[in-house]
Amino acid sequence: ITVHVDQPTVELSESLYGLFYEDINYAADGGLYAELVQNRSFEYYPVQGRNNRRDSFRPLYAWDKVETGGGQCDLSVEHSESLNTHNTNYVQIRIQKPGDGVGIANRGFDGIYVVEGDRYDFSFYAKRTRDFDSPVTISLESESAPIAKAILPKLTDQWARYEVSLSPSATVNDARLLLTLGGTGDVCMDMISLFPRKTYNGRKNGLRADLVQALVDLKPAVFRFPGGCIAHGQGLDNAYRWKDTVGDVAMRKPNWNLWGYHQTYGLGYYEYFQLCEDIGAEPLPILPVGVSCGFRKPFQNAEMGKLQEWVDDATDLVEFANGPVDSTWGKIRAEMGHPEPFHLKYIGLGNEDHHTAEFEERFPHFVRALREQAPEIKIVGTSGLGHEIPIYEFMNRQGCELSDEHYYESPEWFIDNADRFDDFDRSKTKIFVGEYASRGNRLYNAVAEAVYLTGIERNADIVQMTAYAPLFARYGFTQWQAADLIWFDEKSVVRTPNYYVQQLFSVNKGDHYLKNESEFTLAPSEDNPPAIGQVGVGTWATESIYDDIQVSDGNKSLLSDDFSNGSANWVVEEGDFSIVDGGYLQSDSAAVPATSLSQTRFHSPNLVYSLRAKKIR
Ligand code: AHR
């Protein structure tokens, strides 16, 4: 490779390598959000997500009834004396016979992982409703044996929050959290929570330290959140409305997740902004534009007469992030513990929305309102799913600074399309490749993505940001198995080959792209020497990075699309490779001199090839 260090071409944007975070594959509850209790406020119900239906979700999902030593109780989920109007359900325990203790136990996300000697902060809201007058025991148990225990003071007949810390005597990943009662009477409970003290940066209501560390190690410049499809939702009621996700966690309004599960919103916009600070990334929130997801019914558009509340969500978000502490939303940010602004610079509008008349009608209202209120904010539009980028031109006409295009394609597609941006019009809206992946976590996929990123860097004057997708997947809880950047379970984190490619490019990002030329030889490995003059025999070239080579004599292409039957349907194709050192191609029927190479795909079980090529960019 010859690199012309004295010939910089384009500047690489500071924000070129970012992250896309969506709550898919249990990336939030059961993932990044360190809460160990599942369904802590009894708000689960059956859901029909994009990929799966979960009838088993019920208000007592993940909870068991506990009756020990002859004890008996009835459990019911009530809502007549709710904690508040957003958090309507709570559990009521009616003690028939106390025995050695009755109550409830939570299984977490298929077992709670705790570490011996670490601290865990338990909290809940409770009140007694009849003459219950006994203490409440909080314990962790594994295989029916207690590993931590604490006794809480007596309850009153008003809702109140109680907390206590636990320190387990063993490290286990199958613990249950038990709340047990002696005596007689009724007890109501809600917002039952257990957090490890060791969250990232030790924050209350915090995030899993090992998962955040995996993000920090990627040195991301920008963080797109909270989706993805969940941003605009499966029907408007399902859209991600950020105002439901801030303030006291007990006051947040949970929603179901279109990937087929539930969201507590305990990890909400405040926590996302804080996470961005922690990992050193610019926040890029994605807001719905009053148009629900176009891939799954019901397709809904906010009535024009009611669009203002959706537009207000965008302008109020700027105030929440950047406004003074005496502004309506800046005050809430300050009360949550962050009087300083979050310095929001970008807002994304829409996600893969279909190019409908309704979308075209609504989108400009958001652009206008944001320009008026905060002209310094850069607007990121949406180009859609698929490399045809159906609504890029519309985003360009709207004057968006960037537009977000997505594709999930084969590794071959990424290799074939490394030159995708070479001919883009430089005067138009810049590009954010906000979701991409080559549908696999094998090394080959990672290499294909690396090839693509070289093309992006060469075109970094038009491509300003990128992000792989999806980011997280919890084993056993996935809706998107094909490829995810980081896999995890309750205690371990797996960084994929794709992760290391992202890290390689991000951590070593340069300031400028330098003109370069590379020269390479297609050669067999030393372990497997070929016959003289041959460098590869009978392989499906689509399985290797050599699959992007076509041989031609300058005018006429000398390779067919498919050599599998030994026949040759030559295709004429201009190329940007040239043979510098002879070589020949041979099918089982003919030997073919080769003089130049271009980019297209070929494969042949019978092909013998021997090439030396020079690629000039
Ligand atoms: O990354 C998973 C999904 O793929 C996103 O939610 C959506 O934007 C895309 O179609």
CATH number of the domain that residue 504 is part of: 3.20.20.80
**Which H or E element spans position 456?**
helix 443-458
How many domains are there within the chain?
3
C-alpha 21/C-alpha 269 separation (Å) is: 12
Mean pLDDT of 344-361: 96
Q: Exposure of 504 by Cβ count < 10 A (0-12 exposed, 13-18 middle, 19+ buried)?
A: middle
Q: Do 382 and 349 meet the contact criterion of CB atoms below 8 Å apart?
A: yes
Rg from Cα positions in the chain: 29
In a shared domain, residues 606 and 496: no
Q: Which residue out of 141, 282, 319, 352 is catalytically annotated?
A: 352
Per-chain mean pLDDT for the chain: 86
DSSP H/E element including 609: strand 608-616
Domain end point (choices 176, 196, 216): 196
Shared-domain flag, residues 450 and 532: no
Residue 325 lies in a domain: yes
pLDDT at residue 597 greater than cutoff 70: no
**Cis peptide bond N-terminal to 529, omega within 30:** no
Does the pLDDT of residue 228 top 90, yes or no? yes
Query: Ligand 1, from 435, 439, 471, 485: best to mutate by most atoms within 8 Å of Cβ?
Result: 435
Atom of ligand 1 nearest to the CA of 437: 1
Spacing, Cα 229 to ligand 1 middle (Å): 6
Look at residue 51 in the predicted model and tell me its pLDDT.
63
Q: Domain ends where: 488, 511, 534? A: 511
**Angle of the 209-216 helix axis to the 269-279 helix axis, nearest 10:** 50
Whether residues 585 and 483 share a domain: the answer is no
Q: Give domain status of residue 549, yes or no.
A: yes
Q: What is the pLDDT of residue 610?
A: 34
The whole-number pLDDT of residue 520 equals 56
Q: pLDDT value at position 445?
A: 94
Instruction: Report the CATH number at residue 82.
Output: 2.60.120.260
Residue nearest to atom 4 of ligand 1 (CA): 228
Alpha carbon distance 355, 397 (integer Å): 14
The parent domain of residue 399 ranges over 10-30+202-511
Residue located via tokens 């904690």:
83
Query: pLDDT at position 210, please?
Result: 98
Same domain, 276 and 400: yes
Please, is 492 exposed, middle or buried when counting C-beta atoms within 10 Å of its C-beta (0-12, 13-18, 19+)?
Answer: exposed
- Alpha carbon nearest to ligand 1 atom 3, residue: 228
Q: Is the bond leading into 593 cis (omega within 30 degrees of zero)?
A: no
In a domain, 392, yes or no: yes
Give domain status of residue 410, yes or no.
yes
Among 246, 245, 244, 241, which Cα is nearest to 230's? 241
Q: Between vectors from CA 25 to CA 24 and to CA 27, what angle results, nearest 5°? A: 70
Asked whether the predicted pLDDT for residue 1 surpasses 90, the reply is no
Q: 588 C-alpha to center of ligand 1: Å?
A: 45
Give strand pairing partners of 609: 585
How far is residue 265's CA from residue 256's CA, in Å, rounded to a whole number? 10
Q: If we measure between CA atoms, which residue out of 556, 465, 145, 44 comes closest to residue 282?
A: 465
Q: What are phi and psi of 245, to 5 degrees?
A: -115, 10
User: For 111-139, what is each residue's pLDDT tens digit?
Assistant: 999 999 999 999 999 999 878 989 999 99
In this structure, are residues 275 and 301 in contact, taking their beta carbons and an 8 Å threshold? no
Residue where one domain finishes, among candidates 511, 539, 565: 511
**Domain check: are 266 and 168 in the same one?**
no
Q: What is the pLDDT of residues 146-155, one digit of tens each?
A: 999 999 989 9
- Domain membership flag for residue 1: no
498/360 same-domain check: yes
**Cα 494 to ligand 1 centre (Å):** 21
Q: Above 70 in pLDDT, residue 414? A: yes
Distance CA 161, CA 185 (A): 20
CA distances from 499 to 240, 440, 442, 443, 478 (A): 27, 12, 11, 10, 18
Q: Lowest mean pLDDT: which of 2-6, 206-210, 328-332? A: 2-6
User: Is residue 336 very low, low, confident or very high in pLDDT (cuts 50, 70, 90)?
Assistant: very high
The SS3 assignment for 455 reads helix
Are 59 and 140 contained in the same domain? Answer: yes
- Residues having CB within 6 Å of any atom of ligand 1: 22, 24, 227-229, 351-352, 385, 406, 435, 469-470, 480
* CB-count burial class (<10 Å; 0-12, 13-18, 19+) for 605: middle
The answer for residues whose C-beta is within 8 angstroms of residue 602's C-beta and 6 or more apart is 541, 547, 549, 550, 559, 560, 561, 562, 563
Q: Which of 259, 256, 257, 258 shows the shortest CA–CA distance to 43?
A: 256
Q: Pick the residue whose CA is nearest to atom 6 on ligand 1.
A: 228
Q: Rounded to an integer, what distance in angstroms lies between the CA atom of residue 531 and that of residue 539?
A: 15
Neighbours of 156 (CB within 10 A): 10
Domain-embedded: residue 484 = yes
The answer to which of 118-127, 224-233, 305-314, 479-488 has the lowest mean pLDDT is 479-488
CA-nearest of 375, 242, 361, 248 to 312 is: 242
Query: Which of 24, 234, 259 most suits a substitution to test ligand 1, by most atoms within 8 Å of the C-beta?
Result: 24
Specify if 384 maps to a domain. Answer: yes
- Closest-CA residue, ligand 1 atom 2, reads 470
436 and 327 in a common domain: yes
Extract the tokens encoding 242.
């950020």
Q: Are residues 535 and 499 in the same domain?
A: no
563 domain residue, yes or no: yes
Other Cβ atoms closer than 10 A to 552? 24
The SS3 of residue 276 is helix
- Cα–ligand 1 centroid distance for 216 (angstroms): 23
Same-domain check for residues 250 and 215 = yes
> Which residue among 234, 387, 408, 472 has the greatest number of ligand 1 atoms within 8 angstroms of its CB, and so is best to mutate?
408
CB 140 within 8 A of CB 66: no
- Cα(436) to ligand 1 centroid in Å equals 9
Residue whose CA lies nearest to ligand 1 atom number 7: 228
At 148, the amino acid letter reads: A
**Residue 591's pLDDT is what?**
35
The answer to whether residue 77 scores a pLDDT higher than 50 is yes
- 352 belongs to the catalytic site: yes
Indicate whether 178 and 229 sit together in one domain: no
Read off the pLDDT of residues 537-554 as tens digits, 9 standing for 90 and up. Answer: 222 232 222 333 344 333
The mean pLDDT of 74-90, rounded to a whole number, is: 96
Ligand 1 atom showing the smallest separation from residue 480 Cα: 2
Best of 295, 349, 352 for a ligand 1 pocket test (most atoms within 8 Å of beta carbon): 352
The whole-angstrom separation of Cα 265 and Cα 15 is 27
Q: Which ligand 1 atom minimizes the distance to the CA of 229?
A: 6
Residues 155 and 152: their CA atoms lie apart, in Å, by 8
* Protein residue with its CA nearest to atom 5 in ligand 1: 228
Token code pair at residue 155: 């309850």
Residue 197 has pLDDT above 60, yes or no: yes
Read off the pLDDT band of 562 (50, 70, 90): very low
Question: Which residue's structure tokens are 């994304």?
Answer: 348
Q: Are residues 485 and 602 in the same domain?
A: no
Cα–Cα distance measured from residue 203 to residue 273, given in angstroms and rounded to the nearest whole number: 13
Residue nearest (by alpha carbon) to ligand 1 atom 9: 228
